[in-house]
Structure 1
Amino acid sequence: MLDLTFEAPAPKVISGAKQDWELVIGLEVHAQIATRAKLFSGASTTFGAEPNSNVAFVDAGMPGMLPVINEECVAQAVRTGLGLKAAINLTSAFDRKNYFYPDLPQGYQISQLYHPIVGEGEVIVDMAPGIARRVRIERIHIEQDAGKSIHDMDPHMSFVDLNRTGVALMEIVSRPDIRGPEEAAAYVVKLRQIMRYLGTCDGNMQNGNLRADVNVSVCTPGAYEKFIETGDFGHLGTRCEIKNMNSMRFIQAAIEHEARRQIAILEDGGEIVQETRLYDPDKGETRSMRSKEEAHDYRYFPDPDLLPLEIEQAWVDDIAAGLPELPDAKKARFVKDFGLSEYDASVLTAEVDAAAYFEAVAEGRDGKLAANWVINELFGRLKKDDRDIATSPVTPAQLGGIVELIARGDISGKIAKDLFEIVYTEGGDPASIVEERGMKQVTDTGAIEAAVDEVIAANPAQVEKAQANPKLAGWFVGQVMKATGGKANPKAVNEIVAAKLGL
């Protein structure tokens, strides 16, 4: 594993008109479980289907329809818990959370308030190379999603799409360990990365498959330490919850605004009302949505249609045995096996597909050279063309072939960039392209020496200048490279020019 230094949470300090304040943040992340069917029905979870086309009778709340739990949803929740080093509860239970809203046809949401399937765990959040923070996970529970109300199709009517109704969610609840906007975004990024590696959630925030409810409060310096010492939440100040955040940038902006809003109220002698708020990205502000409900407001009670969920330790052990290599372990291996810097390893392991691509390029080759080409040339070009690694026109085998040609000295770095452009736009085998188009680097010292002699003989005045100022020898190198069409080995050219000029 990497040698990490764990920092104590560094609070974001905001200066008010009268005093300094610190932020305390906890997140409830709703992650759509990656399954083809919903939590309690066989209806499809495919995104983008026609409204109300992915709806079973039980999703629509039809009388007499009983829920039947999807085993794969349970397995995915267990897999996520194991990936977060969390306790797996062999017995859990479902509860009804009762409230009325048009997109909730049953009149209640099936969730797990009292007995969640996953207990305490942790997320290691990368703050800088070698520096990490530990955010505690309180619990993960399974619940069903609600539908979607649509208000912008007709000024006089609202519509309801039940396609999301009954889709399985994991609610991942953190402790109030996060102390600033940047750390909050970094936490969500790391959580999404882990779930993508596990294959338990695709993390697509634009589709609503990963959303965060952000709880924000402000306190005076030193109050958080008293909370840690005593466990008394009263030290942290009254929190407000910002609902349904689906952007890292908006999460940070919403926290900043909400903190300053609360500080202004407190310094003016007012009190913070515990409530649920929405973030308006157009105005850059939060606004009140409703008062914050407590558990008793929802009249939770055990769901009478679902028995307690009991799983066996052997089944959990089988899932644990099948876990993939997770991001932190893969990053540590890349540093050790390929000699990469921690930064480069972090870039390459940020997405599971990118990590797999790099490994295929680097297998049996120079790891550092492969990393340089994947990060700088391939990623740079893909970003320019608004592509991702899945749609890269250059395969790992093709890029690996270019790396091999460079390592063998068959092509120079400059020729390699030209070759990469050909492969990117036209395809083909790199080695064959080099042979067919005469791109192979000139390594014959006799041929290079002849080219150097010719340039020197034609430029006696420049020779005198270079002998007086060795830095000007680069001019001869450039002329030789030009004369050979960029095919001469640059190292050999430099050595021969220096020898010929007596430098």
Structure 2
Amino acid sequence: MEWSEKYEIVIGLEVHAQLLTESKLFCGDSIAFGAAPNTHVSPITLAHPGSLPKMNRKAIEYAVKLGLACQCEIEQKNYFARKNYFYPDLPKGYQISQHTTPICKNGHVTIKTTSGTRDIRLNRIHMEEDAGKSIHDVDPYNTAVDYNRAGTPLVEIVTEPDLRSSEEAFAYVTELRKLVRYLEVCDGNMEEGSMRCDANISVRLKGTEKLGTKVEVKNLNSIRNVKRAIDFEAERLMGLLEAGEPIRQQTRSFDAGNGTTFAIRDKEDAEDYRYFADPDLPPFDLEDAFIEDIRRMIPALPAERIQQYMTEYQLPEYDAHVITEERGTADYFETILQHTKNYKAASNWMQGPVKTWLNENSQPIEAFPLTPAQVAALIQCVDSGKVSFSIASAKLFQLLLQHPEEQPLALAEKNNLIQQSDAADLEPVIDAVLEKLAAKVAEYKKGKKGLLALFVGEVMKQTKGKADPKKTNEILLKKLQ
């Protein structure tokens, strides 16, 4: 019997997301990525005696914004606690975190997999500061420490043990990253460490209620690695159970090079951290008006937009999902629709020429040189029959990128790209094509009607793509009777 048929995998995820504030959680030091080591530090970051923390209001706003988007209950009476644990890269020797009063409780994130759509329940979202970074490869004898990241504001998003496969975990982290980017509370760049995932994994016999002994795989730095680590660890745990060996509650790390996990230490329990309220930070209360102001700042989120695109704009579900992948792309698309009602054409341009340019230039939509109004004008050129779609997408689009100050129609006229739809212009070309392909014309008249496409193609070739295909078809059919 396959192990996967005998056992059930139970997964809970803890995702740390770095908030997009300009400064640290308890002082004014910059959190900009990529600075020289130990340049974004101050007496507070370095925990000098007598230095006192001061709360970052923007971090609170971002945490509440994320909680509201996840349908969480917002805790109005909050305080911070000290989490005592040896951090070689956190100068205080403890971390300031929330313990008994997470700022957001419950809530959910909706995921969609091959098994369908369902809600993954959240246990909590709480705020805490990040540690610095230990670097082991710059000195053969010593560990170097960079404190730039120490004190950076984080939210930790903790699920209930609701996930049952690596596919669901992959979908959850993907959806969460999309959400924090939409809300502009975190950039979601896992490769820069601004979003990291810890996976709590256990296995149990199918049909049993009691959870198995869990292991935690720390600091997974890509969505793909979240899936790989869960697959490996679940297989390892099932193997131990099959062999009758005990499972130890451990903290483990993932080796992305060979796809395996290895033990770091036996897992601590909450009491090992000796939490107590931080005496240097006063409790803070959130007023109803403060929470409601933040609620009004939440943009239309992907699920809402997908529904709107499918119902109001009659777009296929695939189109709606692709366009809403990034908030900037969806915003750009919706601005195009302020200038045209051809929703499907706008979708095709976003998924075709526009996306191709973004991919080839490795740029976000914000760097795209054409305005939404210009893309709408390109669509109008095609809809009005002035320019064929093939000419518009292959030639006019490229010209417009080179001259973004121009308008599409004027540029088409200037470069002789206007579609030929006048019968007087087309008939001589069509006559010449039919004469050249006289043998094929005979075959067509004997019943080989599929040859019509050959004639149309030849006319397009002769006119360098400028012939109106509809008018060309119409004239050809008359002449071939």
Q: For this structure pair, what is the TM-score category when the shorter chain's length is used for normalisation?
A: over 0.9
Give the aligned partner of residue 462 of structure 1: 440
Give the aligned partner of residue 23 of structure 2: 37
Give the aligned partner of residue 145 of structure 2: 160
Q: Assess if the C-alpha contact under 8 Å between 2:87 and 2:131 holds in 1.
A: no
Give the aligned partner of residue 299 of structure 2: 324
Distance, in Å, in 2 between the alignment partners of 1:134 and 1:206 is 27
After TM superposition, list the pairs within 5 Å mapping 1:138-177 onto structure 2.
138-177=123-162
Q: What residue identity is the alignment partner of 1:498? A: L
Q: Assess if the C-alpha contact under 8 Å between 1:217 and 1:240 holds in 2.
A: yes
Give the aligned partner of residue 230 of structure 1: none
Q: Assess if the C-alpha contact under 8 Å between 2:7 and 2:238 holds in 1.
A: yes
After TM superposition, list the pairs within 5 Å mapping 1:233-382 onto structure 2.
235-365=210-340, 366-382=342-358
Q: Assess if the C-alpha contact under 8 Å between 1:21 and 1:218 holds in 2.
A: yes
**Does the alignment pair 1:451 with 2:429?**
yes
Superimposed CA distance per residue, residues 172-229 of structure 1 (whole angstroms, 9 cap, x where no aligned partner) = 1001111111211111111111111111111111111111111111121223xx3xxx
Q: What residue identity is the alignment partner of 1:391? A: A
Distance, in Å, in 1 between the alignment partners of 2:437 and 2:85 is 89
Give the aligned partner of residue 95 of structure 1: 81
Distance, in Å, in 1 between the alignment partners of 2:373 and 2:312 is 20
User: Taking structure 2 as the reference length, what is the TM-score of the superposition?
Assistant: 0.95
For structure 2, which runs of at least 5 residues remain unmatched after alignment?
A: none
Q: What residue identity is the alignment partner of 1:72? A: K
Q: Assess if the C-alpha contact under 8 Å between 1:362 and 1:371 holds in 2.
A: no
Superimposed CA distance per residue, residues 382-406 of structure 1 (whole angstroms, 9 cap, x where no aligned partner) = 2234333233344433322221211
Q: Assess if the C-alpha contact under 8 Å between 2:339 and 2:376 holds in 1.
A: no
**Does the alignment pair 1:436 with 2:414?**
yes
Q: What residue identity is the alignment partner of 2:413? A: E
Q: 475-484 or 91-100: which moved more? A: 475-484
Give the aligned partner of residue 465 of structure 2: 486
Distance, in Å, in 1 between the alignment partners of 2:235 and 2:438 is 71
Give the aligned partner of residue 121 of structure 2: 136
RMSD of aligned Cα (Å): 1.8
Residue 364 of structure 1 deviates from its aligned partner by 2.8
Q: 1:421 aligns with which of 393, 398, 401?
A: 398
Percent identity of equivalent pairs = 43
Distance, in Å, in 2 between the alignment partners of 1:200 and 1:473 is 57
Q: Assess if the C-alpha contact under 8 Å between 2:387 and 2:466 holds in 1.
A: yes
Give the aligned partner of residue 10 of structure 1: none
Q: Assess if the C-alpha contact under 8 Å between 2:73 and 2:106 holds in 1.
A: yes
Distance, in Å, in 2 between the alignment partners of 1:116 and 1:381 is 43
Residue 113 of structure 1 deviates from its aligned partner by 1.3
Q: Assess if the C-alpha contact under 8 Å between 1:15 and 1:21 holds in 2.
A: no
Q: Assess if the C-alpha contact under 8 Å between 2:339 and 2:373 holds in 1.
A: no
Q: What residue identity is the alignment partner of 1:370? A: A
For structure 1, which runs of at least 5 residues remain unmatched after alignment?
A: 1-13, 227-234
Q: What residue identity is the alignment partner of 2:3? A: G
Describe the SS at the equivalent of 1:143.
strand
Q: 305-314 or 159-168: which moved more? A: 305-314
Superimposed CA distance per residue, residues 208-262 of structure 1 (whole angstroms, 9 cap, x where no aligned partner) = 1111111111121223xx3xxxxxxxx1211111111110111111111111111
Residue 454 of structure 1 deviates from its aligned partner by 3.0
**Does the alignment pair 1:55 with 2:41?**
yes
Superimposed CA distance per residue, residues 98-137 of structure 1 (whole angstroms, 9 cap, x where no aligned partner) = 0122201101001111111111101111326x94221011
Q: What residue identity is the alignment partner of 1:149? A: S
Distance, in Å, in 1 between the alignment partners of 2:166 and 2:398 is 40
Q: 73-82 or 491-500: which moved more? A: 491-500
Give the aligned partner of residue 16 of structure 1: 3
Give the aligned partner of residue 68 of structure 1: 54
Distance, in Å, in 1 between the alignment partners of 2:231 and 2:82 is 35
Q: What residue identity is the alignment partner of 1:86? A: C
Describe the SS at the equivalent of 1:59.
coil
Superimposed CA distance per residue, residues 251-276 of structure 1 (whole angstroms, 9 cap, x where no aligned partner) = 11111111111111111110111111
Q: Assess if the C-alpha contact under 8 Å between 1:94 and 1:113 holds in 2.
A: yes
Superimposed CA distance per residue, residues 45-86 of structure 1 (whole angstroms, 9 cap, x where no aligned partner) = 111111111112121111121111111111111111111111
Describe the SS at the equivalent of 1:236.
coil
Give the aligned partner of residue 93 of structure 2: 107
Distance verdict in 2 for CA 1:219–1:472, change over 3 Å? same
Distance, in Å, in 1 between the alignment partners of 2:361 and 2:288 is 48
Describe the SS at the equivalent of 1:451.
helix
Distance, in Å, in 1 between the alignment partners of 2:132 and 2:326 is 30
Q: What residue identity is the alignment partner of 1:480? A: V
Q: What residue identity is the alignment partner of 1:408? A: S
Give the aligned partner of residue 14 of structure 2: 28
**Does the alignment pair 1:396 with 2:381?**
no
Describe the SS at the equivalent of 1:114.
coil
Distance, in Å, in 2 between the alignment partners of 1:251 and 1:425 is 42
Superimposed CA distance per residue, residues 121-171 of structure 1 (whole angstroms, 9 cap, x where no aligned partner) = 01111326x942210111111101111111110111111111111111100
Describe the SS at the equivalent of 2:21.
coil
**Does the alignment pair 1:210 with 2:187?**
no
Distance, in Å, in 2 between the alignment partners of 1:446 and 1:126 is 56
Q: What residue identity is the alignment partner of 1:496? A: I
Superimposed CA distance per residue, residues 304-358 of structure 1 (whole angstroms, 9 cap, x where no aligned partner) = 2222221111211111122221121122222233221121111111101111121
